[in-house]
Amino acid sequence: MKEFLFIYRREANADQGVQWSPERIQALMKPWQDWLGSLAAQNKLIDRGNRLDGDGTVVKPNNVVTNGPYVEMKEAVGGYSIVKAKDLKEASELAKGCPIITVGGSVEVRTILEM
Amino acid sequence: MADELLPHLFRTEYRKIVSVLGKKFGFDQLEIAEDIVSDTFFAAASTWGLKGTVPANPTAWLYNVAKNKAINYLEHNQVFDHKIAPELKRQSNEDAEFEIDLSPKNINDSQLQMMFAICHPSIPVESQIGLSLRILCGFGIDEIADAFLADKEAINKRLFRAKQKLREEKVNISLPGAAELDDRLQTVLRTIYLFFNEGYYSVSQNKTLRKDVCFEAIRLCYMLAQNISTNKPDVNALLSLMCFHASRFDARLDEKGEQILYEEQDTNRWDSDLVLRGEYFLNMSASGTKLSKYHVEAMIAYWHTNREDTAEKWENILSLYNQLLFIEYSPVAALNRTYAVSKVHGKEKALVEAKKLELTDNHFYFALLGELYSGLDNNEAKNNFGKAMEMAKTASDKNTIRKKIEKLR
């Protein structure tokens, strides 16, 4: 078994102007919980990881700090998890049910190399 | 009268005296402590039986006799002078060597300290359970053998090796310090939890014994909740969980000790008093920042005290099983989660999930597949139930599955 990083991406600023309510957050969280629960039930989930806030900076050479990572990117990273799988193929298979895909986002699947 | 009283006193007093003497003597001479207490009860049986009367205060009588025997031993034993005395002198400069303190407070403290010493990570968990049953609960070797479905010889050996190991490791009979307490408490809780399960899911046909084992586990956990330094949220959560489960004890077994499935249980036989206690301890557990698996399992058990199937109930149970799996994977949790999926999202969706589990060495996996196929594809259901029945280890499990197959016809 190897470990893989799932990086969740979706369109930057997709949430702009959305009115958040507890019900809405609940409705958004549920499919995530069910999907991650399914991975956990298969004993494939190492770390649920975290969601990332939209705010951020990019620090570049010569002390250049820009606001937000999205200036040059259409998609922004919204979160990550760590799973285990036999190989990259199986890991990709696991990523297919991810709720981010149903809202037009994507999952980048990367093999974690052991030090 | 002595005939009825003595077994009862043995159950309630043996463990107290043995803990106090054991604490005094240390693991080096735990057997002697056990022998002294056994002798005390033997003396009670012969004296009371011979005279045909029981002393006015039988417990005080037992304490007195045990105390005298212990002091006698301490005074006459050579080992005492060389090994224990210097140790005791260091602890107190009084003439306390021969003091055997059987006050309620010391009894309680000694039992708690003994619990931590026995549930020591250096010995395997089944030995921890065995020693707990013997020392902390006063169970006989016969009863322990019956509960584990093992022969007496094997149990004796297991307990002997465990005590030897505790001696080698020089385990102190004391509460761990604050820095260590949380870690050690986790081991104690895990042992109590498995101890309870040993009674609840035991393969033994002896229903009374199984129930006793369960209630002893609850009692030990309650002792932790009664002590300020060990009254932690997860202790209350485990207590709550065990109360909820125990509330169904009578309803889930028939006269022959065979299992009655949850859906078929007579809810009138659920113990509402224990349900209330479960709710009380669940409330008590709701503090701190850590959500332990006992919290999650207690909440699942809480939802099961409500037999009516509502959407709210199963959505909550599914979400709790997800959380439980996030804390710690276990095949049982994975299977139960999938059952909850079927209740929330339907059997087709659950089947897809079930097939991903690949728990093909677990008969409950095939029982679940059988359950999910029932009504969708009865042939497949029968096939899977058949496999489950073949793999099931106990007659009771096989019977439960056979009934499922018969219903499909």
Mean pLDDT of chain B: 89
Q: Give B308-324 pLDDT, tens digit per residue.
A: 889 999 999 999 999 99
CB–CB of B329 and A40 under 8 A? yes
**Nearest Cβ partner for B322 among A40, A42, A43:** A40
Q: Where is pLDDT greater, at B255 or B39?
A: B39
Evaluate if residue B277 carries a pLDDT over 80: yes
Q: Give A61-98 pLDDT, tens digit per residue.
A: 999 888 776 655 677 888 999 999 999 999 999 999 99
Evaluate if residue B226 carries a pLDDT over 80: yes
Å from B332 to nearest chain A CA? 9
Query: What confidence score (pLDDT) does residue B207 get?
Result: 78
Q: Give B290-305 pLDDT, tens digit per residue.
A: 999 999 999 999 999 9
- pTM as predicted: 0.85
By percentage, how much of chain B surpasses pLDDT 70? 94
Contact, B218 vs B243, CB < 8 A? yes
Query: What confidence score (pLDDT) does residue B91 get?
Result: 56
Query: What confidence score (pLDDT) does residue B93 get?
Result: 45
Å from B312 to nearest chain A CA? 14
Q: How would you label B32-48 residue by residue, b for 16+ Cβ within 10 Å and e otherwise?
A: bbbebbeebbeebeeeb
Q: What angle (nearest 5°) sits at the alpha carbon of residue B149, between those of residues B239 and B160?
A: 85
Query: What confidence score (pLDDT) does residue B366 get?
Result: 95
Q: Is A48 in the B-facing interface, judged by CB distances under 8 Å?
A: yes
Which residues face A79 on adjacent strands?
A8, A51
Q: Give B121-160 pLDDT, tens digit per residue.
A: 999 998 999 999 999 998 888 888 887 888 999 999 999 9
Contact, B187 vs B121, CB < 8 A? yes
Q: Give B177-199 pLDDT, tens digit per residue.
A: 988 999 999 999 999 998 898 88
Q: Where is pLDDT greater, at A14 or A3?
A: A3
* Pairwise CA distance, residues B400 & B366, whole Å: 13
Q: What angle (nearest 5°) sits at the alpha carbon of residue B233, between those of residues B231 and B236?
A: 75
Contact, B191 vs B123, CB < 8 A? no
Closest CA to A42 of B355, B324, B297: B355
Chain A contact set for B318 (CB, 8 A): 34, 37
Quick one: average pLDDT of B94-114? 82
What value does the CA radius of gyration of chain B take, rounded to a whole number of Å?
24
